[in-house]
Structure 1
């Protein structure tokens, strides 16, 4: 079935495995590629980018070779790395004349009516001004993303679903390091890419596999995010963020990744 993908307000989530190299450090080439693609698709669109990568950037700056296991050191790396991450995004988007804004959030913001109203008003004003708004979890004061305190929350997947649903986005695109949802672990020969999902049921849940070794989230957290988002009537696409022009191709209705239709 030919896709009919239209989106004016678009949330794009790019995760740790996509932004990081094999050592867990920030991959500047991938960031450059994503910025270039957003520049191509932003005309007549409002773009929110939910990004990971602060910990990887901090690891490089602090010369930490392996991803820390203790939460405090992860928070330290995130605190150091967040400014580096944003400086890199600023330099990349500036090449295209694109202004960016940073918003750091915790999940508590969504639970408080006053703080959420302030967030919504700020975001809507930024989007109306044509500013690409970049969101990350405020890791130095939060363990939601970097620790398993809340198993349903993983690697900004849940954060991107919250942003998409609360801001009434038209679509959520989750960029990862695999081509989409497979019917079995893609490491196995014969694994088939699932092109579209009309209903997220137990059969789909069984396809999820294990969590990522770099980030907290794996396909399981992406499916959960898709379930939350499609319930709100919003299309979700999970695709490989390292592929060339993945965002323009998705918005051009090409069969890229796995598309989850509303109604779950």
Structure 2
């Protein structure tokens, strides 16, 4: 049952989306021992192919490389050391790509592998290159299969449960909807294994998930409901509706969308650059703002001036992305700073007319600033 106009529109938007990102987790593709489960992978591809036949373009963000590499290497559990994780990813990624190629081949669909690292979404030049690659693949009728490049990216394995990556990719390609498929059938306000846990079928905004106690990852994956909730909230706040559902319900999730938890889009669609600024780029420092500056930056979308800054944290250079926080430390915006960290201490708290002419420029210009939703 759809409980509100907003949620109803969200499910309709997800059902009718013409460009979608679908993320699937390791536990949905592998056996308990760690090897790929061909039947489960084929069932997922069946649902994706049906959605494709209905007219949608699809980008699949798939976990499972490390898990798929465990059995061939004789490992019984996900390794904890980085080198063995990378070795498992090297073996498993090949097996995963081969399995997807064969499975999609049953529908005469061509797949292309896209391996991304954190660098590819936090560096502006890499971000634009990734956009062009996805655009061309989709124009050629290819189904891109995306995974994090766990084999070589040390930072990526810590970053990596693929849920946040899926949200970033959804915006990067201009997706109309994001599907998060896992081994849990919906969002619950507690551990779904407990009888008192309440199933949440519709999320119209942040207030609907207040008090949700989301768990972390299992034996084969690194994610968990906490990462899925964070990814869904991120995408929804950037104007992309989300459906969170069980991988076993993939056909219904990608069809009538009458399963799982629907997240209504709560924010407006940002340009690619503003989304990169707000959610993808690495922040190398933080500026603490007084209440007046927070009001100007967040409420009136004004540039940040030195007079509104009370403290500077971190080591950054002009042109870096920094976080802007209120007096309580909550991050309220992000933007490109116009000064080095070493230049700012002598400027903060001072009005423009008190500064030398060459230092009267904005610390963060409004065109280079993105206000974030405050919890």
Same fold (TM over 0.5): yes
- Which residue of structure 2 lines up, in the alignment, with residue 231 of structure 1? 237
Work out which of the residue numbers 215, 219, 227 in structure 1 matches 2:221.
215
- Which residue of structure 1 lines up, in the alignment, with residue 253 of structure 2? 250
Work out which of the residue numbers 156, 159, 184 in structure 1 matches 2:162.
156
Q: Is the 8 A contact 2:189 2:197 kept in 1?
A: yes
Please, which runs of 5 or more residues in structure 2 have no aligned partner? 3-7, 268-375
Q: Does 1:100 align with 2:111?
A: yes
Q: Is the 8 A contact 1:103 1:133 kept in 2?
A: yes
Describe the shift of the 1:166–1:205 C-alpha distance in structure 2 as closer, same or farther (beyond 3 A).
Answer: farther
TM-score, with structure 2 as normaliser: 0.65
Which 10-residue stretch deviates more, 229-238 or 108-117?
A: 108-117
Work out which of the residue numbers 11, 35, 38 in structure 2 matches 1:25.
35
State the Cα deviation string for residues 195-217 of structure 1 (Å, max 9, x = none). 11011248445331333332111
Q: How far apart are residue 257 of structure 1 and its match? A: 0.5
Q: SS where residue 187 of structure 2 aligns?
A: coil
Q: Does 1:11 align with 2:26?
A: no
For the aligned residue pairs, the C-alpha RMSD in angstroms reads 1.7
Q: Is the 8 A contact 2:34 2:69 kept in 1?
A: no
Paired residue total = 256
Q: Is the 8 A contact 1:199 1:263 kept in 2?
A: yes
* Distance (Å, rounded) in 2 between the aligned partners of 1:145 and 1:202: 31
- Which residue of structure 2 lines up, in the alignment, with residue 111 of structure 1? 122
Q: How far apart are residue 144 of structure 1 and its match? A: 4.4
- Choose between structure 1 and 2 for higher RCO, CA contacts under 8 A separated by at least 6 residues: 1
Q: SS where residue 206 of structure 2 aligns?
A: coil
Q: SS where residue 199 of structure 2 aligns?
A: coil
Q: How far apart are residue 162 of structure 1 and its match? A: 0.5
- Which residue of structure 1 lines up, in the alignment, with residue 357 of structure 2? none
Work out which of the residue numbers 191, 215, 224 in structure 2 matches 1:185.
191
- Which residue of structure 2 lines up, in the alignment, with residue 150 of structure 1? none
Describe the shift of the 1:198–1:143 C-alpha distance in structure 2 as closer, same or farther (beyond 3 A).
Answer: farther
Work out which of the residue numbers 246, 254, 278 in structure 2 matches 1:240.
246
State the Cα deviation string for residues 164-213 of structure 1 (Å, max 9, x = none). 11222000101000101012211101423211101124844533133333
Q: How far apart are residue 61 of structure 1 and its match? A: 1.5
State the Cα deviation string for residues 72-94 of structure 1 (Å, max 9, x = none). 10110001111111011111111
Q: SS where residue 141 of structure 1 aligns?
A: coil
Q: SS where residue 131 of structure 2 aligns?
A: helix
TM-score, with structure 1 as normaliser: 0.91
Describe the shift of the 1:205–1:214 C-alpha distance in structure 2 as closer, same or farther (beyond 3 A).
Answer: farther
Q: How far apart are residue 112 of structure 1 and its match? A: 2.1
* Distance (Å, rounded) in 1 between the aligned partners of 2:254 and 2:221: 27
